Structure 1
Amino acid sequence: MPELVLAATKDLPQSAEEVFALFGARSGASWLFDVQCDSLRPGTPVTLTLPHGSLGETPVHLLGRIRRVVPNKLVEIVHDQPWPGLLQIRIRAHRTGGSSVSIVGHVDDRALRWVMQRRGWPLSTPCTGHTHRIGLLTSKIGSAAVYAIATEYLAQLAVEEINADGGIGGRPIELIVGDDGTDPGRAALEARRLLAAGCRAVIASVTSASFAAIEPIVAGAGRPLIHSVVNEGGAGPELVLRWGERPLHQVRTAAHAVMKNAGGRRWYLLGNDYQWPHGAHRAATRVLTAAGCEITRNRFVPIGTEDFAPLLEDIERSGADCVLSTLIGADEVAFERQAWEGGYRQRWETLSLVLDESTRERVGDAAARGIWTTFGYFEELDTPENRDLVARYRERYGEWAPPLSSLSESVYEAVLLYAAAARREPDPSGIAQALRAARGRMPRGNVAAQGPHAMRQDMYLARAVDGGFAIMTG
């Protein structure tokens, strides 16, 4: 794939040592140095915010990790969102004092395509009819980008495996990717673009708010639509399938262990203000009140909230023993880091329904330690199928690729199950009907669709530990 190299250099009065010390210190020196990272060690997750307005009004965060460090000389960041690339920050000392900083960015045409789409000038993707196109709608910026970071990689891995086995009807699958930007309005635009590109189905790894925006568009066009990630459920048109974990099952799996460790039964419910957290809180209230628990508060905040200090103070005033968090992505990262920094972590037990592997590592080892979560899949699962998947993923994308999680692995499964159905059924209605009875042995274990809006799967309870999760029960 052709590569584009972008470079810029600036002279500074500070010494090379002083400039290097600015990196990650969040001193306000510049956008380049105000990165969020817990250490300057290879493998450390990094969030770098590009200058405001450089790519539109919506803030754009490069999500990646440190690949190499040479003290006082070099920091290399390999990033995956919103496009894959390599950023090199080179520092050179001047003999006469001061230093210079060079920024070298290595990107390919995926970066150009993403930028053009954000600007409203999407590059055309002519459909020749020689491939079987499917669309993937995911989130490359906004709060949900944190947990969606490995989604495209897992989808592409599934596509490559299917194509190596003959594709669908002798035609290779071609994956067309859309970015909703964690915004329902943009999700609708991207859904129309995917359909115009000739996609025969759309797999949605997006929030329920974005899913609600695209459901009438995709189903109305007569194309199957699969919502693969955790969601609140609910009926829909014939061609719509909603898989993923349900909050009712998540809370049932975790509540007893969380309360036992907390030594109390008073719960504070906190989430983002859209469909899934509202549905999750209703499900949690049903489970918890049946167990004789008290709900002290039920709070919702807009997606994109950054300051949680007032809510942390309110949780403490409420006397809650347990907190249920349905905050997503970057919002969950901000909440948990602020809870830890403010000394609140030991005052209550936290159950987070979307603390996946990517979110946990951006919360950080120290800040995330002890948080409970529950999913149908964890990268640490010790099944033959999962060991094989993790090995192939690392071989394909390298040691610095983002971790797998239930939210990304579910897309891998959805692509495989769709292909199996499309090989048997030629038309969209037949494919949807076959998917209603889909089943198989996957990396997470045995899965079986129960109609269009539920996927039977095992649930695992886990706690965050340094470097990942300790699976407690399953």
Structure 2
Amino acid sequence: MPEGAQGRERPRPVPPARVPSPREAYRVALVVPRRGPAGMFGPSCRAAAHLAAEEVDAAGGVAGRPVHLVEVDAGAPPAEVARTVSALVDRGEVDAVAGWHLSSVRQAVAPAVAGRVPYVYATAYEGGEVGDGVVCTGELPGEQVVSALRFLRREFGWRRWLVVGDDYVWPRATARDTARVLAADGIVLQEPAWVPLGCSDDAVWDRVVTDVGRHAARRPAPDGVLMLLVGSDGVRFNRVFHAAGLDDRLVRFSPFMDETMLLGGGPGTARGLFASAGWFAGLASASALEFSAGFARQYERLVGVDGLAVPSPGTMAESTYLGLRLLAEVGRRTVPGPRDVDAARSSWAWDTPHGTVRLDAGRAHHRVHLAVATGAEFEVLADVTTGPRA
């Protein structure tokens, strides 16, 4: 045994890439994070994508072609991700781009592939993307944030929210646009604190939480914190927030929170934490249970669990799955190109584990649920869907 190797964890074998047997495959650049603040979602997104590919192949593939996933790390700097994806398109190595990743990555990738191959952006986002051949399948703030905060005011009287968010396009645009809409309801978003994306400086998080505590001591006091934080940033905030005892005084709400983040936070950090999304693993419909079972099978095959329980599929995983299923739906009869995706963006509907999702004039309409954290799981409290219903 080499010196210093004793006690090291043996690396897990990496399963071989999923290579279809026919020569002609439908090749999709799967853009999901494997590092950075959103890297914690990577294993679940990969498992969900491979489940979608398996199901599409079992149903006849994309226009008869089996799906082959070409994985790209969306946790790299956005410009680097765009160069990688663009090079794959230039070399004719992929027929489409899809996946779950941050808006900063989408803003770099979309112009690099616009009009060349279809691009399915499968993430809740701030809205406004109109790139040629780009379709966004995630929840929009009006359905996901506005409807949830209106529900929380109506049911509990909470109307004053401090904003803590990562400093990039999605949190800033979401806070700005929702504040304008919610003002008519007497709901106030105040004192925004912006944190560098992927911040690992404990002093920064201590300072943010100290500021939150100072605002909580004022009158009128805020009712809660609107968290617009990604992955490990949300986990860090929850830990420091709990350690400061602020969960005795303020609730938290996030439109960007899943079971993976609850597990990462550890015991006690989820007290008084609410979230909204189209999907939660606690949904009990037949389609939700079927998806969860398939996800568990793929996760164990791809990631391995070493005797531990497979994690619940979070909203990031389910979003990845439904994005790939849309691509296959559009390609039932012919290999989809950018024009086909543009047509689907104008008007389309397809079934997902959380119900039918409809595209209308570039906007994806979901059935949105509000949930409260209970330990490492979410308990769905209500359907807060607004607008066109599934």
TM tier relative to shorter chain: 0.7 to 0.9
Rounded to whole Å, the distance in 1 between the matches of 2:155 and 2:272 is 10
155 and 354 in structure 1: CA distance in 2 versus 1, 3 angstrom threshold: same
> What is the CA-CA distance between 1:9 and the residue it aligns to?
5.9
> What is the CA-CA distance between 1:377 and the residue it aligns to?
0.6
Rounded to whole Å, the distance in 1 between the matches of 2:189 and 2:288 is 38
Instruction: Name 1:403's counterpart in structure 2.
Output: 312
Rounded to whole Å, the distance in 2 between the matches of 1:155 and 1:472 is 28
Q: Among 398, 418, 431, which residue is 2:327 paired with?
A: 418
Rounded to whole Å, the distance in 2 between the matches of 1:109 and 1:408 is 20
1:86-109 residue CA offsets vs partner (Å, 9 max, x unmatched): xxxxxxxxxxxxxx6353223226
* Greater fraction of residues in helix: 2
106 and 260 in structure 1: CA distance in 2 versus 1, 3 angstrom threshold: same
Q: Bigger relative contact order, structure 1 or 2, given CA contacts below 8 A and separation 6+?
A: 2
Instruction: Name 1:382's counterpart in structure 2.
Output: 284
> What is the CA-CA distance between 1:335 and the residue it aligns to?
0.4
Q: Among 219, 223, 239, which residue is 2:114 paired with?
A: 219
> What is the CA-CA distance between 1:189 and the residue it aligns to?
2.5
Instruction: Name 1:51's counterpart in structure 2.
Output: none
> What is the CA-CA distance between 1:460 and the residue it aligns to?
0.2
| Percent of residue pairs bearing the same amino acid type | 28
Aligned residues: 364
Instruction: Name 1:455's counterpart in structure 2.
Output: 364
Rounded to whole Å, the distance in 2 between the matches of 1:275 and 1:202 is 21
User: Gapped runs of 5+ residues in structure 2?
Assistant: 217-221, 301-307, 384-390
Asked if 1:104 corresponds to 2:10, the answer is: yes
The answer on whether the counterparts of 2:292 and 2:312 sit within 8 Å (CA) in structure 1 is no
Partner of 2:9: helix, strand, or coil? strand
TM-score by length of 2: 0.86
Asked if 1:238 corresponds to 2:132, the answer is: yes
The answer on whether the counterparts of 1:383 and 1:445 sit within 8 Å (CA) in structure 2 is no
Rounded to whole Å, the distance in 2 between the matches of 1:103 and 1:426 is 44
> What is the CA-CA distance between 1:197 and the residue it aligns to?
5.4
The answer on whether the counterparts of 2:32 and 2:101 sit within 8 Å (CA) in structure 1 is yes
Rounded to whole Å, the distance in 2 between the matches of 1:136 and 1:312 is 36
Instruction: Name 2:387's counterpart in structure 1.
Output: none
The answer on whether the counterparts of 1:143 and 1:329 sit within 8 Å (CA) in structure 2 is yes
Q: Among 152, 155, 165, which residue is 1:271 paired with?
A: 165
> What is the CA-CA distance between 1:412 and the residue it aligns to?
0.9
103 and 441 in structure 1: CA distance in 2 versus 1, 3 angstrom threshold: closer
Higher mean alpha-carbon deviation, 255-264 vs 396-405, is at 255-264
> What is the CA-CA distance between 1:429 and the residue it aligns to?
3.5
> What is the CA-CA distance between 1:299 and the residue it aligns to?
2.0
- 1:379 aligned partner, one-letter code: A
Partner of 1:332: helix, strand, or coil? helix
472 and 9 in structure 1: CA distance in 2 versus 1, 3 angstrom threshold: farther
* Greater fraction of residues in strand: 1
TM-score by length of 1: 0.72
Partner of 1:413: helix, strand, or coil? helix
1:237-293 residue CA offsets vs partner (Å, 9 max, x unmatched): 231111211122222222145446875532211111111001110122123322223
Partner of 2:245: helix, strand, or coil? coil
Higher mean alpha-carbon deviation, 430-439 vs 407-416, is at 430-439
Partner of 1:470: helix, strand, or coil? strand
Instruction: Name 2:270's counterpart in structure 1.
Output: 368
Instruction: Name 1:439's counterpart in structure 2.
Output: 349
Asked if 1:338 corresponds to 2:233, the answer is: no
Rounded to whole Å, the distance in 2 between the matches of 1:349 and 1:182 is 33
Asked if 1:356 corresponds to 2:262, the answer is: no
Partner of 2:81: helix, strand, or coil? helix
Rounded to whole Å, the distance in 2 between the matches of 1:391 and 1:149 is 16
Rounded to whole Å, the distance in 1 between the matches of 2:38 and 2:344 is 26
Higher mean alpha-carbon deviation, 182-191 vs 130-139, is at 182-191
238 and 314 in structure 1: CA distance in 2 versus 1, 3 angstrom threshold: same
Higher mean alpha-carbon deviation, 133-142 vs 244-253, is at 244-253
182 and 331 in structure 1: CA distance in 2 versus 1, 3 angstrom threshold: farther
1:378-401 residue CA offsets vs partner (Å, 9 max, x unmatched): 111111111111122223434633
User: Gapped runs of 5+ residues in structure 1?
Assistant: 1-6, 12-99, 114-124
Rounded to whole Å, the distance in 1 between the matches of 2:133 and 2:237 is 37
The answer on whether the counterparts of 1:178 and 1:194 sit within 8 Å (CA) in structure 2 is no
The answer on whether the counterparts of 1:182 and 1:206 sit within 8 Å (CA) in structure 2 is no
Q: After TM superposition, list the pairs within 5 Å mapping 1:31-70 onto structure 2.
A: none
Q: Among 34, 42, 51, which residue is 1:148 paired with?
A: 42
Partner of 1:107: helix, strand, or coil? coil
Instruction: Name 1:116's counterpart in structure 2.
Output: none
| RMSD over aligned Cα atoms | 2.4
1:41-77 residue CA offsets vs partner (Å, 9 max, x unmatched): xxxxxxxxxxxxxxxxxxxxxxxxxxxxxxxxxxxxx
- 1:105 aligned partner, one-letter code: P
Larger radius of gyration: 1
> What is the CA-CA distance between 1:184 and the residue it aligns to?
0.9
Instruction: Name 2:381's counterpart in structure 1.
Output: 472
286 and 171 in structure 1: CA distance in 2 versus 1, 3 angstrom threshold: same
